[in-house]
Structure 1
Amino acid sequence: MLRFCFGASGAGKSTTVFGEIIDRSFQEKDRDFIIIVPDQFTMQTQKDVVRMHPSHAIMNIDVLSFGRLSHRIFEEVGLSSFSVLDDVGKSLILRRVSDILGDKLPVIGPNMHKPGYIDEVKSTISEFMQYGITDKELSVLEEKSSTRGALNSKIKDLRLLYREFHNYISGKYITTEETLDILCNSIPKSELLKGSVIVFDGFTGFTPIQYRVIEKLLLQAKEIIVTVTIDPKEKPYDSAFEEQELFMLSKKTVMDLERLEYKIQQEEMKNVGSLPDFNTWRTLRDRSLDIIIKDQHVKRLEGNPSLSFLEENIFRYNAKKYDKEPEGLEIYEAQTPETEVRQTMIKISDAIRSGKYAYRDIAIVCGSLEEYSELLAKSSDRFGIPVYIDQNTALMLNPFIEYITSALGIVISGYKYEDVFHYMRSGMTSFTRQDTDLLDNYVRALGIKGQKQWDDRFSRRMPARFKKKVKEGSPEAERDVAIMAKLEDMRSHISTQLQPLTKVRKATAKEISEALLTVISENACSEKLLAYRDMFLEKGDTRKAKEFEQVYDKVVRLIEQIGDLIGSDEITLSEYRDILNVGFGDIEVGTIPQDVDRIIVGDMERTRLKEIKLLFFLGVVDGAIPSNVGGGGIISDIDRQFLVDLGTGVELAPTPRQQMYIQRLYLYMNMTKPTDKLFLSYSELGSDGKSHRPAYLIPKVSYMFPELKIQRPEEGSFEKQNVAAGDSLINASDMLRQYALGVLPDEEKKNLYALMHVLRDVDATKNAYIEKLMEAAFRHYENKPLSKALALTLYGANLENSVSRLELFASCCYAHFIKYGLRLEERQEYDFDVSDLGNVFHEVLEKYTAKIMEKDLDWRSINSQESEEILDKALAECVENYGDTILFSNIRNQFMIERIRRILLRTVSVLKYQISKGRFNPAFVEMDFREAGSLDEINITLSEDEENHIREQMNLHGRIDRIDLCRDEDHVYVKVIDFKSGKKKFNVAALFHGLQLQLVMYMDVAVAAQKKLSGGKEVIPAAVLYYHVDDPMVDGKEGMGPEEINEAIKNELKMTGLVSDSDDVIQRLDEGLSSKSDIIPVAYTKSGGLTANSSTISSGDYQLVSRYVNTKIKEFGRRILNGDIAVNPYESGDRNSCTFCEYKGICGYDERLSGYKTRKLDLSEKAGVRALENIRELFEEKTSDSAE
């Protein structure tokens, strides 16, 4: 017998039926009473029945779901020999079958490797099973869709995949959906079900396979009662209904269930007589035992007129209007989901503080739980509100899964860097972070790649270009040996750990699974995961603790499942990883509420809410309500509607249009859950910053309640916006920052004072945190130099320095401190960059020049062939030894050798030309300062304390790229050349600020050295020049010949710098020059004077510049030893010393913070003129002072 219990949402259907079952269970003690509910409702329903039962026990009452009913019946009839394939197993097999079919799936096959696609396929296959669609039905769909090419191709692929999937599992497994088919066959054998009373509660409808189960139950049970949510005024037995009706699904369910009963009666009457047609039979059916709850207002909402009105009118035709201000309803908007959640928490805090409600009286439903869950978790923590988010957690980012995928990745890729250190940093190995960093630096510095290099012992030291050589037997050498031993041990350990996987690169899935389980077991992964669990429990994060507690068993079960499902198939390790990743995507961890008094957070359809007083409905926006139920799966929304319109007779899952109407029923059921108040809210912007529109529900409710005003609570008073200490601390932080910046309005300052006072009084334990907030808000930069003692400890009283170091100090004192005081370095990389290019240029040119000087060859007469041979030999020696043979490490770098050769061929050609133009000859190449002997210019006394016998000195180190000399009877003329791999011009303004000291300092050293060697001759600085090592492209004109192009290139490579304005010196540099030079930055006018653009300087001015540079060097040396570590970057036009600074992530420079300031420097040519004037004035003042 089939009975119904009809009633609106909240009318008391469940209570009425449960009450009847409990009463009858006393009267009919030998009868079994079974209550079947959706899976997620079983626990709550058990609690409800136990609470209602006078004995608070349910001896002959069972609460089951369809799944649990299957297990119960299978146990009873002894049917337990089959294995059920869950969603994970289904995904694995679908992936494997699609790989086997390959090109036979032209549409689906190529997409099966895309993330998420297999879930779409699995969902479609599951739909076929739930709706009883077999190969026969699919053939009908294939035939009917023949005019729609793309759809027809998809159905062909799905049909083949579906058939082969069943063939693959046939005789070994059944799917979860098929358990109900087996249940149908087992029901007639069950004694438990014979004569039982069965209740179906909480269902909005049933799938075809569920209907088949109910049909079998109708044959066995004495009675089946089904609760149906429908307003009795809506005619529950009506067979003429439209899909847009609110209770369409309820009416359809009633009709479909009655059709089952009609079918059974037809069978029973087959040999006796016949029944009238179905519609006539429905009108004659005995409905006297059906329960119809027709109260004027539903029981749940008695005493709440506004919510009763909502229940009676929402989504109804000719809905009425409520002429008062509703007390049980509120709508509020916010700018963002974050603000919306925060305002919700404020309202909940107010409700709890009123004393009328406990947390368990409140629930939160979200239009999009995925978007709001994280926001709710964070905000509830700030407000100290206990919530339980009814959502399963995906595990793809769990360290255990990261460990497994990277371990497989290492073997598959042959020790690719990313896989190795993904594995090392997974948190599941036995290596410490420091050890991992050490290995990481070593591997990157030496360019260790590929399994061959990882299989070899780690014995190579760090390349010389990265590390100074150490003496054998020294403490540094012994430390190096210990480090190498540790690195080798780590390499060996990784290799040993992964050995089981390296043996199964291509094997059966069973063998790979066993190898992977061996790796996991030997690494003690289970113990490490439990340690993580304990850590999270100590922190009070039960959700994370539950994840780490469950993940090991779930992952191991997955690996075993792969071995069982496709065990005998031979696959590659890469294919195995792909299959495993599909399984990982399906693994989820569910949790249960830890506290009874907590707020349930869920979605419209899945979450079961009972006995709540306040309901907050968040995210009521377009796209979430109605949700995008379609979205174009394997069978798209349009295709699905097309198949429905064809009238194939094959029932599929509801179309998106139908689903949208069905969602209205869920909306209605949720909105009628609270007894006291319903809150609807939405945000104007989404989490992605895009605009949101309120869902259609908002204007619909506003129309029904014209006196209901949409609130904007975030604009409420300060007091109402600060109700919880944790949240108020965040607000205080923002306000303190504004206060510190001077932008907080006066009225808000008063609020801030009051808030800080209250926070200190409410929770004394927060005082330390408040102090940190204050400190952070008023944080400002204050230049605090190092103590003298600490500076001397870092640098030593004998400051070993170089001009480039001093230039860095001039650029930013703090950068100098980090690099040379703390000796921090960027990670060393096994690559060839711009600095390496410059090093090679210098080394080759040094070898080339030295070889010419050694052979006493004349630069002006050496032939091209011999020059090229010398250059090639120098280049070969350099690249063979440079950076641990880095230039041979890959094709790109090998191509770089050819590029270097081409540039250097151009360079030596131009250098020969430039030498041939004048009377200077190269005399020294790469001359080390130490070769010049003891010079005051490089051994500089900074200060001297005779009393304490403390002398502070700075010893300058450096190498001058090339020194050219020109001698006559009374003079030695000196030209200094510095080779640069990039363009650089001499700038007196930069020199004035200490940013370009190098050339002048080099000249001072060269001149001082020559004075010692000149035999009393006058040593004259002739020029300090930069040469750009390059093979430039030049702008050509049509018809230009080779000679003209060559001249243009020479002009492009003209040296830049500073030249003596003496005609005698200029003629020695560029003999016979009468107009514009193509080798030095000098040009004559027609009248014989120097042009304004000539980069020249008088002998007197040069002496002043030289003195200034020496003064600046001493100043910088003293400041370094006095502990100056100011964060003082400079800015000039579009140049900024921070732009390419490798330490900008350390200093904390932020112009928004008080105290930080960029030095604005003018480095233009005009500024250079002014700088020279300033230098003159400076020394004129000093001369004047000394004269006085």
Structure 2
Amino acid sequence: MGFKIVAGRAKTGKSTYIYDEINKEISNGSKNNLLLVVPEQMTYQSEYEVIDRISSSGIMSLEVLSFKRLGYKVFEEVGGLKVQEINRYGKIMLLKKIFEENKDKLKLFKKASRQEGFLREFDSLISELKQNMVSEEFLEQILKHKVTENDNHLLNSKLEDILTIYSEINKHTKDRFFDEEDKINLFISAVAKSKFVRNSKIWIDGFESFNGQRLKLIKELVKYAVSVTVTLNIDPACINSLQSIDDWEAFKTVHETFKSLTDEDVSFEIEALNEHAFAEEIKIVEKSMFSLKDEKFSILTDKVQLRSSLNPYTETEKTALEIICLVRDQGYRWKDIGVAVGDMDTYSINVKKVFTQFEIPFFLDMKRDIMGNPLTKFILSLFDMFIYNFKHDSVFEFLKTGFSVLNYDEVSKLENFALQYGIEGEKWFRAFRFKCDGIEYFNSLREKFTSGMKEAKTQFKKLDNAMDITLFLFDFLDKFNVQEKIERQVNVFKKSNLYELSSENAQVWNYVVEILEQIILTGGNMEINPSDYRKMIEAGFREVKISIIPPTLDKVTVGETDKISVKSYKALFILGANEGKLDSRSSESGLLLNDEREILAASGMKAINNADYYMYREKHMLYKLFSSAGERLYLSYAMGTSEGKSLQPSMYTERLKSLFTGIKEKSDLSDTWELDNVSSVGGTVDTLVSKLRDFSESGEITDVWKNVYAWYEENDENTINIIKLGLLYENRAENINKENLEKIYQMPVTMSVSRLESFAACPFKFFMENIIKPQPRIVQKVEFYDIGNIYHQAVERFTNEIISSNIDIDTMDEEMARKISCVCTENILAEGEMDYIALDANERNKYMKEKIKRLVNRAADTIIKQLQRGSFRPKFTELSIGDKDGNIFVEPVEIKIDNDLSIYFQGRIDRVDTFEKEQKTYVNIIDYKSSYKDIDLSDAVQGLQLQLLVYMSAIMKNGEKLFASKPEIGGAYYFLIDDPLVDGDVVLESTPQDLIFNKLSLKGYVLEDSEIITGMDNEIGDKKASDIIPVTFNKDGSTSKSSKTLTDKEFKALLSKTDSVAKDIAGKILAGNIGINPYRKESGDKVPCSFCDFRGVCQFDPSSDKNSYRKIKKLKKDEIMLEIMKEGEPDEI
């Protein structure tokens, strides 16, 4: 019953020592069972090492096992597994059930089980307690007698909840099934009965620490096996006194393990190994990196390198270049190289992209979750369909998994149809009766999809226990031939050499079946509704992490630091050596905070792990990581994220610079050796493009890149052509030629003024909106512009009702106005029933319907009050400019571009009010808006806001026949349809209604004429400031500077100017200008790109020197009018 501990630092040959002993046993014809026990995650790697190191004749004499697999061998021999096993997925789902059943008993964790990751953390805590043999009774005693002395109420409440759940777990599992920890206890008990163990020589390799259960198991194996040998990665010099070495912190965890293994009266032998198999520079890193002494070495070397990069992407690129150099110039194999990353979430994306581009074969050693897998989505969306009555998202999540009866093309078309017509819920089970093309086709798709679904839905509602729900789910998986479809897909992936996808999908089916079997095991007869069942299986799915075995051996291995540290590589790259990434510096773990763990440890729970344990464990892991390099070590960090946020280097980068005084930190900005950037065909392209771009600006390029360019010209003409196109590309849209213009614009050309404004914002936007006219997917939902249209129509109809009925505005009261407006709104909604069907789709939209009525009522009330305060009266609504379909219209505005070409502007004016004075008809034009808008003269003279002014010009030029006398300018305004809020806490003289009335005042410009002003607001003289129009009087009776007024001459000059601007824009449109040329105001960040639907088409990039905004100034009223008046007398208006 010999017990040997093989102690040695990294690379001292501990595993080699074991393999030599095994080979010796085989050579001597040993009759014992030879067992090599390694961590679960190392079994695959160890089996390959066995093939390399053990003689082929004796390889069958050795078994490579994990503790778990060794346990199964013992159980096969002696029995003991009398109940069924519950795995971690089953435990998570059991915990979900227990938390739901006991939530009323809990103090802190009532709702915690609903939080993602909580059940995993709780399961880990229970496992930790069991692994360290902390029983329910012991925990109860701790709670009663020890922790209360610390008066820590939070910890007391937490422990009470833990004890409640711990007790319930034991009740649910007792004599029914066992978990991994229970199995180890059974294994410990079975060792003494096992002849297999008594005839075994056991070597335990690759572990740094053992929990309480494992320690007890090893001691049992020592007691009954022929011999047990354990390797420990520790300096033999610190066995008896830890702090006798300078880097003792790196070995504290292992030293504790050594003490635990030898703390009883057990005789043992120590084999101390001291010979290192490192390059000299790596030996310095291994020996001194974690030393507390300030050691310095003046050695000059390229075997240890340090690099800083701008961001993780460029860091990954530089790593790829170094790897290629090692393989190409130093004769390395891909498998000789390991890449450890400090942040897998960030670097995995970069590695996939960069290594693929650089043609580096790699294996990403990371576990994949299955939440995004089609099978998982199929199951969860199936439940969602039945639970939420076939809502759109759940239906198409289900159909898009690839397991439904519809193919991809059919699903895509059906989804567009369903979005357009609002198909969800019970509508799926009724024939579609819409008047549209292809209705029979869509009905056939509906029937294929819903076949058997209605009956299944009825059955689903009756399900009330876990067994029946699970069987229901299995029936569906069988009905849709899911397993067969997965097998077919796995074969497709294999044939396409997509081995990782093949392996992942092959495993998912087994995991899902395992989870469903665990549900039946842990609570087959459990009463549960389908909604809670779905939550339970989702919790199980979230726990699944799939490991992939590398399909070929000769690949660069990329993994997290703890994964890479278990194997040796000739060259090791450590990426992401940033603070908080390489060294996490965590002080807390799981549900118990570090302070709480300290209290529990002081109360007798010595085995509970605290922050010091995790700190020293991490330090040992990093020691192993830095020691994994055999010949070369590359450490790199990013100075910032890809988004520009700064990052700090890890303390280990400074430690490396401190050790090697001659080391020069490389940087992306300081690289000068050109050949370093010449790698693979794909990997060199980006750098070549950068050098050629520099050449186009400076005229300078080195011979290296001339030769690289020549190589591509000779060997890869396609790439060179793409590069040339890219370098010459200026992201410019060429003018439309005359031939195509004639096809686009039919003579005579008519156009709305809003199109001119669109062109002024960006010619390319105009081109896309009005010529290309791409159509978005039609979705039945209430859009903002739908609501705006309803507002417009209802308010216009209200005004038209007043005009056509000759209602005396002066005698109208609020009640009468609201009655008329309500009827108008109801009629608009009824007439547009199909257009506005989405307003009845859900409760939110029904609320919007009521809001529409409320806002229209408010608008009607405001309009009447504004009119009652003045002399202007509504004359026309929806007055057409250019459209001669009706009896009342204004002739279109003709703008002559040249002698042979004219353009006509047309549109509709929401409302025209008039006021008769001295044989003149003064005209106001009013445009309704559902969001705030005011006339900005600076925008107007630069083409961005022409509409109201061009409309006014049209009436002045062509509208005389509509009025009793020649029309004169009165004003141009926007009217806001809104129901604004006011601050009810503010004490003011005005009432809330007065404040609202003021907020809804007209925005625009009024004629500088006292009679016109009082004609708009006859109370302004008393108040000095109008709450209808933007006018304030000074004490002397003149209008204030802030008033928005224009004299008749100024108004006419402004209209002449905007007509000229419209002409200029029209000329550019008819010249075929479609340039990618958006504006940007100098005074702010406003750009049309912010709300443009075509940003992805034009690819305008303001950071590129090939693209730039068209800057426009913010002009003041005085300078605008001064400039306009300088231009001379306006045209006849």
Match of 1:1125 in 2: 1074
Q: 1:277-296 maps to which residues of 2 (within 5 A)? A: 278=265, 290=269, 292-293=271-272
The answer to whether the aligner puts 1:803 opposite 2:756 as a matched pair is: no
Structure 1's 641 and 777: CA in aligned 2 closer, same or farther, altered over 3 A?
farther
- Displacement of 1:587: 0.9
- Displacement of 1:122: 0.9
Match of 1:391 in 2: 366
- Displacement of 1:137: 2.6
Instruction: For 2:538 and 2:579, locate their aligned partners in 1 and report how far apart those are by CA, in whole Å.
Output: 34
Instruction: For 1:70 and 1:8, locate their aligned partners in 2 and report how far apart those are by CA, in whole Å.
Output: 28
Q: 1:195-234 maps to which residues of 2 (within 5 A)? A: 195-234=199-238
The answer to whether the aligner puts 1:712 opposite 2:669 as a matched pair is: no
Instruction: For 1:1089 and 1:687, locate their aligned partners in 2 and report how far apart those are by CA, in whole Å.
Output: 59
- Displacement of 1:853: 4.1
Q: 1:781-1180 maps to which residues of 2 (within 5 A)? A: 781-797=731-747, 799=749, 801-824=751-774, 835-836=785-786, 838-860=788-810, 869-882=819-832, 883-884=835-836, 889-914=845-870, 917=871, 922=875, 926=879, 929-931=883-885, 937-938=891-892, 957-963=906-912, 973=921, 975=923, 977-981=925-929, 992-999=941-948, 1002=951, 1019-1023=966-970, 1025-1026=972-973, 1028-1029=975-976, 1040=989, 1053=1001, 1056-1057=1004-1005, 1059=1007, 1095=1045, 1120=1069, 1122-1132=1071-1081, 1133-1134=1083-1084, 1136-1151=1087-1102, 1152-1154=1104-1106, 1156-1158=1108-1110, 1160=1112, 1164-1170=1116-1122, 1172-1173=1124-1125, 1176=1128
- SS of the residue 2:111 aligns to: helix
- SS of the residue 1:202 aligns to: coil
Match of 2:95 in 1: 94
Which deviates the most, 429-438 or 517-526? 429-438
Instruction: For 2:218 and 2:995, locate their aligned partners in 1 and report how far apart those are by CA, in whole Å.
Output: 97
Q: 1:481-630 maps to which residues of 2 (within 5 A)? A: 481-482=437-438, 486=442, 489-490=445-446, 493=449, 500=456, 503-505=459-461, 507-526=464-483, 529=486, 541-603=498-560, 605-607=562-564, 612-620=569-577, 622-623=579-580, 627-628=584-585, 630=587
Instruction: For 2:826 and 2:791, locate their aligned partners in 1 and report how far apart those are by CA, in whole Å.
Output: 12
Match of 2:84 in 1: 83
Instruction: For 1:546 and 1:361, locate their aligned partners in 2 and report how far apart those are by CA, in whole Å.
Output: 24
The answer to whether the aligner puts 1:644 opposite 2:601 as a matched pair is: yes
- SS of the residue 2:366 aligns to: coil
Instruction: For 2:571 and 2:384, locate their aligned partners in 1 and report how far apart those are by CA, in whole Å.
Output: 51
Match of 1:724 in 2: 679
The answer to whether the aligner puts 1:3 opposite 2:3 as a matched pair is: yes
Alignment-mate amino acid for residue 144 of structure 1? K
Instruction: For 2:859 and 2:564, locate their aligned partners in 1 and report how far apart those are by CA, in whole Å.
Output: 72
Alignment-mate amino acid for residue 210 of structure 1? R
- Displacement of 1:27: 3.0
- Displacement of 1:689: 6.7
- Displacement of 1:904: 1.0
Structure 1's 971 and 123: CA in aligned 2 closer, same or farther, altered over 3 A?
same
Structure 1's 841 and 127: CA in aligned 2 closer, same or farther, altered over 3 A?
closer
Structure 1's 909 and 364: CA in aligned 2 closer, same or farther, altered over 3 A?
closer
Instruction: For 1:210 and 1:384, locate their aligned partners in 2 and report how far apart those are by CA, in whole Å.
Output: 44
- Displacement of 1:593: 2.0
- Displacement of 1:716: 2.9
Alignment-mate amino acid for residue 836 of structure 2? D
2:588 touches 2:610 (CA, 8 Å); kept in 1?
no
Instruction: For 1:806 and 1:638, locate their aligned partners in 2 and report how far apart those are by CA, in whole Å.
Output: 69
1:349 touches 1:723 (CA, 8 Å); kept in 2?
no
Structure 1's 1020 and 688: CA in aligned 2 closer, same or farther, altered over 3 A?
closer
2:817 touches 2:860 (CA, 8 Å); kept in 1?
no
- Displacement of 1:1006: 5.3
Instruction: For 1:710 and 1:248, locate their aligned partners in 2 and report how far apart those are by CA, in whole Å.
Output: 33
Instruction: For 1:941 and 1:688, locate their aligned partners in 2 and report how far apart those are by CA, in whole Å.
Output: 50
The answer to whether the aligner puts 1:661 opposite 2:616 as a matched pair is: yes
Instruction: For 1:118 and 1:966, locate their aligned partners in 2 and report how far apart those are by CA, in whole Å.
Output: 75
Instruction: For 1:671 and 1:87, locate their aligned partners in 2 and report how far apart those are by CA, in whole Å.
Output: 33
Structure 1's 906 and 548: CA in aligned 2 closer, same or farther, altered over 3 A?
same
- Displacement of 1:123: 0.8
The answer to whether the aligner puts 1:64 opposite 2:19 as a matched pair is: no
Instruction: For 2:786 and 2:521, locate their aligned partners in 1 and report how far apart those are by CA, in whole Å.
Output: 55
- Displacement of 1:187: 3.5
Normalization by structure 1: what TM-score? 0.81
1:966 touches 1:974 (CA, 8 Å); kept in 2?
yes
Structure 1 residue ranges without an equivalent (≥5): 261-277, 461-476, 946-950, 1184-1188
Alignment-mate amino acid for residue 28 of structure 1? G
- Displacement of 1:119: 1.3
Structure 1's 966 and 73: CA in aligned 2 closer, same or farther, altered over 3 A?
closer
Q: Which has the larger radius of gyration?
A: 1
- SS of the residue 1:133 aligns to: coil
Identical residues among aligned pairs (%): 22
2:247 touches 2:291 (CA, 8 Å); kept in 1?
no
- SS of the residue 2:133 aligns to: coil
Instruction: For 1:104 and 1:1034, locate their aligned partners in 2 and report how far apart those are by CA, in whole Å.
Output: 47
**Structure 1 residues 611-648: Cα deviation after superposition (integer angstroms, max 9, x where no partner):** 643333445555456544652312222222222233x2
Normalization by structure 2: what TM-score? 0.84
Match of 1:469 in 2: none
Q: CA RMSD in A?
A: 4.8
- Displacement of 1:940: 6.0
Which deviates the most, 541-550 or 242-251? 242-251
Alignment-mate amino acid for residue 360 of structure 1? K
- Displacement of 1:378: 3.7
Structure 2 residue ranges without an equivalent (≥5): none
Equivalent pairs counted in the alignment come to 1110
Structure 1's 393 and 837: CA in aligned 2 closer, same or farther, altered over 3 A?
closer
Instruction: For 2:922 and 2:443, locate their aligned partners in 1 and report how far apart those are by CA, in whole Å.
Output: 52
1:786 touches 1:1122 (CA, 8 Å); kept in 2?
yes
Match of 1:354 in 2: 329
Alignment-mate amino acid for residue 204 of structure 2? F
Instruction: For 1:939 and 1:706, locate their aligned partners in 2 and report how far apart those are by CA, in whole Å.
Output: 82
Instruction: For 1:807 and 1:70, locate their aligned partners in 2 and report how far apart those are by CA, in whole Å.
Output: 79
Which deviates the most, 802-811 or 691-700? 691-700
Instruction: For 2:564 and 2:779, locate their aligned partners in 1 and report how far apart those are by CA, in whole Å.
Output: 53
Structure 1's 653 and 351: CA in aligned 2 closer, same or farther, altered over 3 A?
farther
1:230 touches 1:247 (CA, 8 Å); kept in 2?
yes
Instruction: For 1:633 and 1:979, locate their aligned partners in 2 and report how far apart those are by CA, in whole Å.
Output: 62
- SS of the residue 1:192 aligns to: helix
**Structure 1 residues 192-213: Cα deviation after superposition (integer angstroms, max 9, x where no partner):** 3333322223333433323333
The answer to whether the aligner puts 1:164 opposite 2:168 as a matched pair is: yes
- Displacement of 1:840: 3.8
1:1022 touches 1:1065 (CA, 8 Å); kept in 2?
no
Structure 1's 790 and 184: CA in aligned 2 closer, same or farther, altered over 3 A?
same
Alignment-mate amino acid for residue 131 of structure 2? Q
1:188 touches 1:220 (CA, 8 Å); kept in 2?
yes
The answer to whether the aligner puts 1:181 opposite 2:128 as a matched pair is: no
- SS of the residue 1:58 aligns to: helix
Instruction: For 1:696 and 1:106, locate their aligned partners in 2 and report how far apart those are by CA, in whole Å.
Output: 42
Match of 2:147 in 1: 145
Match of 1:51 in 2: 52
